[in-house]
Chain A
């Protein structure tokens, strides 16, 4: 790790002030991606602004037909939350399967969403559930938030405060983990709310999380895995590496989508 100064603001306003003064500084949420990157000297922020001591950034509440999760809420807490398990069990299940138990004890939903790693799980949930990302400045719809690999709508000095998930009528996440890293090689989050169907795919595309619109259309007629038979995602634009070529990933999108829908209708 390169040397850095360490700052521990007590409020979001203070944090925003610090980052405004030092645009190369990094916000530290759970650190489960940032710290390994810094350890390998792949990032050299002059300052690290630790959000851990900011009051009120962690927590889960149900507001009518919405579940609101604070940005600093740890994966483990989302996964075991009675509120989430009752309202959006698919989201709890997703959180319970991120990384490993020790990573889930530190990694946060805000950190994951802000980082928008192309193989992270949460972006798929946000996109499929039509979540709203609330920052210190504004509210951003998930559809507008994720803008390609490691790229989001966040502006300089903008800090995620919470994420609001509207309740689906049916939802499930099916993940095919990379055998080595256990990140999603393909993860498909299927959600149905009223007549709206969304299929969000993570891990597969070099553009990051995306919606498989052809699959969504097919499911709009009938929300059943049978509706996806014969449909396939084009291999163009899929990630291709030693773990899976583009055509294999494209194939897995179809398989995982069917499995997600199967699980969703089983509940």
Chain B
């Protein structure tokens, strides 16, 4: 291992600008002549719009323009799309209601976009928005999923008269029923996976700009995938053809999924820029973010696990209602289906699984992918019911898991996935050792003496990352392939620019991608630049989500580097007057085998551009290669997280005392960055388990619309984490990488809840398990214990 190559904890190249205040986020950009947009949003969860009168607003000082859904429609601007088709059990396509960027005739959630005001200042735009007169005919809202599917419930979209988007299933129902019929024990559980608001610290922002001379548009936006944004804005929404639309996603302050999607605001900004003849800038405030960013999770699930007399798992059946909100967001349809049910086998050998999912419309913000996207929901089902089963059978939860682990690879689950490699017992063993499991009884007694309740909870998770291959996802309904691209440009002086379709919004690609280049080309890391986030620079890419940048994006880079080295060898052969076959490349030098003749990488690069020696030959000048990489399988990171916590039964306050994470991410490029991803994921998972929950009241008002009511994890809510690793390299990609970005968020919630229920004498608690929830459960547990 070199100090900058694969496996080295290289300090991040991008950090200098961030720690000195020189990061350049969308809101930091100021375009000449820019005007400011403010969106008038619906105060009602469900209402018809009888009329919108913008005349007074237009007359307000500083107003540049006021636009509504009618103006969008007149210009032929299409609605927002959902890019993954799901078919119901009966073969019918999902029922996607129209999703105009500005409401036409009806609003369907509080925060829905009614009109946009563009003015010289944001304050002037806000002032004018108050002068818009909207005549609403309020309709009964439906917020709760169970209420939404009752006969006679208010209809949100005419295309879905029962508010059901789809009624989908996966797995072998008959085989599952048969297995349940012969089970000796059946564990059952009812779960709510709480609705979350992603809350990257940088809120969404957009600047649309139009150049009348070139008829070209530019959109600066907070996106995890600028090329996908351009594709959707061009091919589906129809604002401009792709070659006339440049999308730039500069420094982006976190995404966690919420910046994958193509939203109303950026659509309107880029369209309005031409309408008003000025660059149009919009920056969300935090309350707008709560109202209009796509939310995450929000499932209601009943699950059952069939077991034989020894506690071997026979089958699982799962029935889930998934809240998709008022409209289908960009990838929302696949999250509770293909990103969820295929993970229900967890780390376990379960012969039969059957899962049914109803996607449901409600008068709430759209719900889409949030860190983990379907996999945290699946893991919560699996790891909660496994815990319940172990306790009902009186078996040690660690031993019970171990007994049911998949041990032979490859392993075909009954729900699509073919696990390629892993060693689940190794992760469990290491985690048990790190948490000092053998002394947990002693620690519990010590806590009890201090009047506290101590519990320990396990989560043995698996995730499927680098969602792929393109042919497979296409057959499941994806609108696009899920490959990645990379281009390596070697400059005449030997410095290297990598153009990647991956996008970094905190993941550290500028460092890790450069490490791969250093490893392969043997050049210093400061001679490598990673370029991303600009459709005029990078030809195409699918962006960053689903822990895919390492496994897919870097694999594309690896392929491109192979091509660069192959070409450079030919250049070196000409320059050294040897045959291609005799050229060896090692440690950044090309040499002729068996001689002392050699050239450094930079010298070969220069020769490629001077090209004197091979002009007129079959070798082209220059040194630049690109590659597209389409994976052959998902990757399957896995691991075991253990949470140990203490409850104050008087107040219900939970304090996490220890956290051990042992993850198998395959080959790791930069362990420092990977551990950072694990830490952040755990924090979000703990947030879901203990602190965070989006709450709508019965009228559809979002009660938790600021940090006053939505509880973000703070430093004093969390412990330091003990992070360990085991390694089974991924066999399906050239680097052996599995992906690490979502693991913590997937693993953590059941670990916390299992620990709480352990401390509370198996009393169930809902998420978020706030002090109030835990206090009530502790009281119930105490009463029950007293009665027994």
- List the interface of chain A (C-beta within 8 A of B): 1-3, 40-41, 176, 179-181, 242-245, 248, 251-252, 255
Bound together, the chains give a CA A164 to CA B287 distance in angstroms of 39
In the complex, the chain B residue whose C-beta lies closest to that of A41 is B126
In the complex, the chain A residue whose C-beta lies closest to that of B773 is A248
A180 x B708 contact (CB < 8 A): yes
Q: Which of B746-779 contact A (CB under 8 A)?
A: 770-772, 775-776
CB neighbours (8 Å) of A179 from chain B are 691, 711, 770-771
Bound together, the chains give a CA A115 to CA B775 distance in angstroms of 32
Bound together, the chains give a CA A243 to CA B775 distance in angstroms of 12
Bound together, the chains give a CA A252 to CA B774 distance in angstroms of 13
In the complex, the chain B residue whose C-beta lies closest to that of A185 is B771
- Does B526 sit at the interface, judged by CB under 8 A? no
Contact partner, A176, options B287, B651, B707, B709, Cβ 8 Å: B651
B287 x A180 contact (CB < 8 A): no
Contact partner, A180, options B123, B127, B710, Cβ 8 Å: B710
Bound together, the chains give a CA A2 to CA B121 distance in angstroms of 13
Task: List 19 extra interface pairs beyond A176-B651, A180-B710, CB under 8 A.
Answer: A41-B126, A179-B691, A180-B691, A180-B704, A180-B707, A180-B708, A180-B709, A181-B707, A181-B709, A242-B703, A242-B704, A242-B709, A243-B709, A243-B770, A243-B772, A244-B771, A245-B772, A248-B775, A255-B651
Q: Which of B275-331 contact A (CB under 8 A)?
A: 287
In the complex, the chain B residue whose C-beta lies closest to that of A245 is B772
A97 to chain B, nearest CB (A): 12
23 A-B pairs in the complex with CB atoms less than 8 angstroms apart: A2-B127, A3-B123, A41-B126, A176-B651, A176-B771, A180-B691, A180-B704, A180-B707, A180-B708, A180-B710, A180-B711, A181-B708, A242-B695, A242-B703, A242-B704, A243-B709, A243-B770, A243-B772, A244-B772, A245-B772, A248-B776, A251-B775, A255-B651
A255 x B650 contact (CB < 8 A): yes
Bound together, the chains give a CA A181 to CA B711 distance in angstroms of 7
Bound together, the chains give a CA A179 to CA B704 distance in angstroms of 13
A248 x B772 contact (CB < 8 A): yes
Q: Which of B661-705 contact A (CB under 8 A)?
A: 691, 695, 703-704
B711 x A1 contact (CB < 8 A): no
A118 to chain B, nearest CB (A): 13
Bound together, the chains give a CA A252 to CA B695 distance in angstroms of 23
A6 to chain B, nearest CB (A): 15
Interface string of B467-483 (1 = CB under 8 A from A): 00000000000000000
Bound together, the chains give a CA A180 to CA B708 distance in angstroms of 6
Bound together, the chains give a CA A22 to CA B776 distance in angstroms of 50
CB neighbours (8 Å) of B704 from chain A are 180, 242
Bound together, the chains give a CA A1 to CA B127 distance in angstroms of 9
Bound together, the chains give a CA A242 to CA B702 distance in angstroms of 12
Bound together, the chains give a CA A186 to CA B16 distance in angstroms of 43
B222 to chain A, nearest CB (A): 22
In the complex, the chain A residue whose C-beta lies closest to that of B711 is A180
CB neighbours (8 Å) of B712 from chain A are 180
Interface string of B324-342 (1 = CB under 8 A from A): 0000000000000000000
CB neighbours (8 Å) of B287 from chain A are 40
Top 8 A-B pairs ranked by shortest CB distance?
Answer: A180-B711, A181-B708, A179-B711, A248-B772, A255-B650, A244-B772, A180-B709, A242-B695
A211 to chain B, nearest CB (A): 22
CB neighbours (8 Å) of A180 from chain B are 691, 704, 707-712
Bound together, the chains give a CA A252 to CA B648 distance in angstroms of 12
In the complex, the chain B residue whose C-beta lies closest to that of A2 is B127
Interface string of B637-653 (1 = CB under 8 A from A): 00000000000001100
Interface string of B708-727 (1 = CB under 8 A from A): 11111000000000000000
Q: Which of B103-145 contact A (CB under 8 A)?
A: 123, 126-127
CB neighbours (8 Å) of B770 from chain A are 179, 243
A266 to chain B, nearest CB (A): 17
In the complex, the chain A residue whose C-beta lies closest to that of B653 is A176
Bound together, the chains give a CA A248 to CA B287 distance in angstroms of 28
In the complex, the chain A residue whose C-beta lies closest to that of B126 is A41
B56 to chain A, nearest CB (A): 17
Bound together, the chains give a CA A180 to CA B199 distance in angstroms of 14
B703 x A252 contact (CB < 8 A): no
Give the one of A41, A176, A180, A242 with max B CB within 10 A: A180
Bound together, the chains give a CA A266 to CA B710 distance in angstroms of 36
In the complex, the chain B residue whose C-beta lies closest to that of A258 is B650
Bound together, the chains give a CA A2 to CA B128 distance in angstroms of 12
Bound together, the chains give a CA A245 to CA B770 distance in angstroms of 12
A1 x B695 contact (CB < 8 A): no
B63 to chain A, nearest CB (A): 15
B36 to chain A, nearest CB (A): 14
In the complex, the chain B residue whose C-beta lies closest to that of A39 is B285
CB neighbours (8 Å) of A1 from chain B are 123
A45 to chain B, nearest CB (A): 15
Bound together, the chains give a CA A41 to CA B38 distance in angstroms of 14
B123 x A252 contact (CB < 8 A): no
Bound together, the chains give a CA A2 to CA B776 distance in angstroms of 44
CB neighbours (8 Å) of B776 from chain A are 248
Bound together, the chains give a CA A41 to CA B691 distance in angstroms of 28
CB neighbours (8 Å) of B123 from chain A are 1, 3
In the complex, the chain A residue whose C-beta lies closest to that of B710 is A180
Bound together, the chains give a CA A216 to CA B446 distance in angstroms of 34
A32 to chain B, nearest CB (A): 13
In the complex, the chain A residue whose C-beta lies closest to that of B709 is A180
Bound together, the chains give a CA A237 to CA B776 distance in angstroms of 20
CB neighbours (8 Å) of A255 from chain B are 650-651
CB neighbours (8 Å) of A248 from chain B are 772, 775-776
CB neighbours (8 Å) of B651 from chain A are 176, 252, 255
CB neighbours (8 Å) of A245 from chain B are 772
CB neighbours (8 Å) of B709 from chain A are 180-181, 242-243
Bound together, the chains give a CA A41 to CA B123 distance in angstroms of 11
Bound together, the chains give a CA A175 to CA B252 distance in angstroms of 38
In the complex, the chain A residue whose C-beta lies closest to that of B717 is A179
CB neighbours (8 Å) of A3 from chain B are 123
A65 to chain B, nearest CB (A): 35
Bound together, the chains give a CA A218 to CA B578 distance in angstroms of 100
B682 to chain A, nearest CB (A): 18
CB neighbours (8 Å) of B707 from chain A are 180-181
CB neighbours (8 Å) of B772 from chain A are 243-245, 248
A119 to chain B, nearest CB (A): 10
In the complex, the chain B residue whose C-beta lies closest to that of A255 is B650
Give the one of A179, A245, A252 with max B CB within 10 A: A179
In the complex, the chain B residue whose C-beta lies closest to that of A254 is B650
In the complex, the chain A residue whose C-beta lies closest to that of B695 is A242
CB neighbours (8 Å) of B650 from chain A are 255
Bound together, the chains give a CA A124 to CA B287 distance in angstroms of 31
Bound together, the chains give a CA A251 to CA B648 distance in angstroms of 14
Give the one of A1, A176, A242 with max B CB within 10 A: A242
Bound together, the chains give a CA A244 to CA B650 distance in angstroms of 14
Bound together, the chains give a CA A245 to CA B775 distance in angstroms of 12
Bound together, the chains give a CA A243 to CA B651 distance in angstroms of 13
CB neighbours (8 Å) of B126 from chain A are 41
Give the one of A41, A176, A248 with max B CB within 10 A: A248
Bound together, the chains give a CA A3 to CA B771 distance in angstroms of 41
CB neighbours (8 Å) of B703 from chain A are 242
In the complex, the chain A residue whose C-beta lies closest to that of B650 is A255
Bound together, the chains give a CA A266 to CA B468 distance in angstroms of 63
A193 to chain B, nearest CB (A): 28
Bound together, the chains give a CA A40 to CA B707 distance in angstroms of 13
Bound together, the chains give a CA A180 to CA B691 distance in angstroms of 8
In the complex, the chain A residue whose C-beta lies closest to that of B713 is A179
Bound together, the chains give a CA A242 to CA B703 distance in angstroms of 8
CB neighbours (8 Å) of B710 from chain A are 180
CB neighbours (8 Å) of B708 from chain A are 180-181
CB neighbours (8 Å) of A244 from chain B are 771-772
B195 to chain A, nearest CB (A): 13
A228 to chain B, nearest CB (A): 12
A216 to chain B, nearest CB (A): 21
